[in-house]
Amino acid sequence: MDGERDTEIAIGCYQPEYVGEEGSRGGDIHKYRMSLWYEHTARMDEAFLEPQSLDCVSSLRQIGKEMWDVYSGETVVDMGGVHIVGYPVTVAEDGSIQDVAGGGGTFPDTTTLIKGRRSRLLPPVCTT
């Protein structure tokens, strides 16, 4: 959060009166989550109503792939307000991480390593 990197913040929210199948789509938390989906994807997808579903994961992965293709393409294209891009690695069945084909190991517009590098200060579980 020093202005040199992109950061993410994870939060958990709970509204007891909206717990359960009948009430899970009500309340301010649901509205906030739906607004975040729209802010990042510029679309309303039925799958976003069930964020734990494979349909939601598949939809987001597809959006991320589409936007990676735009971001890494040769021409400058407006991403249409979409703020989600798939990370350019694939994870093999054995858990090993590989660069996407033709990725070159760095992000297209920088010399920043996609897989990062080892830190002498942070444990290996942390990325740098």
- Contact yes or no for 64/85 (Cβ under 8 A): yes
Please choose, from the candidates 72, 76, 98, the residue with its C-alpha nearest in 3D space to the C-alpha of residue 85.
72
| CA distance linking residue 64 with residue 118, whole number of Å | 26
Provide the residue ranges of all domains of the chain, joining segments of one domain with +.
16-86, 88-128
- Contact yes or no for 96/76 (Cβ under 8 A): no
- Contact yes or no for 59/86 (Cβ under 8 A): no
Q: What is the pLDDT of residue 5?
A: 61
Other beta carbons within 10 angstroms of residue 104's beta carbon come to 10
pLDDT level of residue 1 (50, 70, 90 thresholds): very low
pLDDT in tens, 25-63: 778 888 888 999 999 999 999 999 888 899 999 999 999
Q: Which helix (H) or strand (E) holds 90?
A: strand 89-91
Q: What is the pLDDT of residue 41?
A: 94
